[in-house]
Every structure is written in C-alpha cells, then in structure tokens.
Amino acid sequence: MTEENTRIVADKLLGLLGLARRAGKLGMGVSAVEKMVVRGENPMVIAATDMGESLKGKVARWEPVRGVVSGVLTGEDMARAFGRDKLAVVAVSDSGFVKGIRKLGF
C-alpha cells in the first residue's frame, strides 16, 4: 500500500471511530478497553503504532477480541482526533462499526 493510500485508510478509520464515539460505542484508553474485554463484549481493538512494549504485551493477552488493528494510527493521531493528550488504544464492539472497519481491509 502506498503512503497516500495508507493515509486515506487511516482517515477513514478515524472517521469511523469518530462516529462510534458519538454513538457511545467507543472505548478509549487502556482501562476502558480492558473493561470491554472483561465484560465479554469481544471488541475490535485499534492499537497505536508507537505504543510501549509493556502495553503491546497487555493487548496481546486480551481475550476474546475480534481482532487488533495496528500499524495504521499513531498515538498522536488518535489523541488529536479525540481531544486527548495521550491515547494508545481504543476499541469498538458494535457489530456495525466492526463491519465497517473490516471493509477497510482489517
């Protein structure tokens, strides 16, 4: 995928995540995503490309999840999009939003 295509996909992903946030279906941050996993919501996890090694290990151990999207958005991209100072992981469990993310190729 070219850099331009990657940016287009990243922008579309951020758009979907923004819609999920407005719909109240987006978990933002480690504790919110972890709660979704523990409650059995089986979320799709979006992880920042620049997250730390310890957090990568934690995300890898979360079960069950519908998948982990990584390598697309930086923590800065997500933080800026959602008005946060820092943000390394978000998740969505709504099947419609998960389907939309999968259509982007994830």
pLDDT value of position 72: 94
Q: In 3D, which of 91, 101, 106, 95 has the Cα closest to residue 30?
A: 91
Q: Could you give the dihedral angle defined by the CA atoms of residues 53, 56, 61 and 67, in that order, rounded to the nearest 10 degrees?
A: -160
Q: Which two tokens stand for residue 92?
A: 């969505």
pLDDT value of position 4: 87
pLDDT value of position 1: 67
- Please, are residues 43 and 93 in contact by the beta-carbon 8 Å criterion? yes
pLDDT digit of tens for each residue in the chain (106 aa)? 688 888 999 999 999 999 999 999 999 999 999 999 999 999 999 999 999 999 999 999 999 999 999 999 999 999 999 999 999 999 999 999 999 999 999 9
pLDDT value of position 12: 97
Q: Determine the Cα–Cα distance for residues 81 and 83; give it in Å rounded to an integer.
A: 6
